[in-house]
Amino acid sequence: MKTYALVLAAGKGTRMKSNIPKCAFPILDKPIIEYVVERFEKSKYVDETILIVGYKKEYFYEHLSNRVIFAEQIEQKGTGHAVKCAIHHLEDKEGQTFIVPGDVPLLTPELTDEIIEKHLKEGNDLTVCTMILDDPLQYGRIIKDSKGQVLKIVEHKNATKKERLVKEVNTSIYVVKNGLLLEYINKIQPNELTEEYYLTDIVELMSANYKVGAFVIEDTYQTAGINDNKQASAIEEYLKEKINNKLMLNGVTMESPQTIRVSVDAVIEPGVTIKQNTIINGKSIIKKNSIIGPNTTIMNSKIDEEVIVEDSVIANSTIGEKSYVGPFAHIRDLSVIGKNVRVGNFTEVKNSTIGDDSFASHHAYIGDTKAGKRVNFGCGSVTVNFDGKEKYQTVIGNDVFIGCNVNLIAPIKIDDDVIIAAGSTITEDVKKGSLAIARNRQEVKEDFYYKHFNKIKNENNK
């Protein structure tokens, strides 16, 4: 029996005051909707995910087109109306549908499956996911009969004094049999005041003739939705702490963990040390015994064993084992750094490969370059890759020594065993074993300073 996930993500989220849809808002640099879709991809029960979109729907089509089925809610007329807009995808399909808001990022695949399992085991026609709150605030109250059958959901503003004493509240998460969902969604009537269709009304409509049960979720963070930036920050802080605690218990050392942010998709092996003010984003991999930080950002990169990275940025790149990066280095755009390489102070590496045992210790720019092993980039050396229109490649062999303040004008090839003299601007290929010098011979004009500034030379201070 198949299970379908129905995700409500059409709203604008006006309280976020953002120019992106609410469900696209980032939590630890990952959009909320990504957490939701991945949850169902990892579920052992959910077969298809249907995403209901509306405001700035183009974002969702662009990022999720191969992973979900889309339905559109052109006008936002409530949660019941949103489900109506997607109901045609469930016609003639047996099984059940898991309905969830698109702004609930922390619900785990494990809890999702537990909810579906209980729905099936208890033979419910509709299961309402609930939580118990000491202070129910504005949540809708769950009203049950003496046998535990859910009779209805009463919104706070409509609840009586007695009903407001109820501490079990609605999470807006449901599991419902498809045939009954198709039948009863069309029986929901618009609210007299707002003219919106509320999905909560389906509970009272079905309870008269069908079994409506409740699943109480104890970890209320898993059901927490996001309506404003303050709530987003609280969710992010909770998730950050959860990830960091898990890593530390698994053997990762964190200095000042409250200042460290690690993506939920990152893989960090035991023995790694992460220092303060460090961010590890995306699907980064940090291998054992590496030291990352302080003040470092790693984005979608692989850091091999025994690497040190301090005060630097690495994006979409790979760093080989026992290499040292920083301080204040920037490695980006699919660069590959070999083993035992030093990329040091204020050096930038872009879309380049640097072989083992090489050095770019300070103030170098290496762009669109393929460099071999044991290459030394002197201070101030630059691979000049851009002519204002096109970018060109520099190819450097093994055992090449590049002196300070050297410009290599691409496209250019430097063979093995070459020395480039300091201060040279190299415009032609250099053959194996050569010394290349491209600079004017020094000329000295004695006493020019005194003539130029019309000053008298002091013979006592030669």
Cα 239 from Cα 231, distance rounded (Å): 12
* Helix, strand, coil % over all residues of the chain, rounded to 5: 25, 30, 45
CB atoms within 10 A of CB 216: 12
Which of 81, 119, 330, 362 does the annotation list as catalytic?
Answer: 362
CA atoms in the 13 A half-sphere facing the CB of 333:
10
Nearest to 127 by CA among 106, 104, 149, 145: 149
Cα 6 from Cα 172, distance rounded (Å): 12
Tokens (6 digits) for 239: 């998730």
Nearest to 308 by CA among 299, 295, 321, 297: 321
Cα 449 from Cα 462, distance rounded (Å): 13
Cα 194 from Cα 78, distance rounded (Å): 9
Cα 427 from Cα 437, distance rounded (Å): 11
CB atoms within 10 A of CB 428: 10
Catalytic (active site) residue 362: yes
Q: Dihedral, CA atoms, 273, 277, 281, 284, nearest 10 degrees?
A: -20
Cα 326 from Cα 348, distance rounded (Å): 10
The DSSP letter of residue 430 is: B
Active site residues: 362
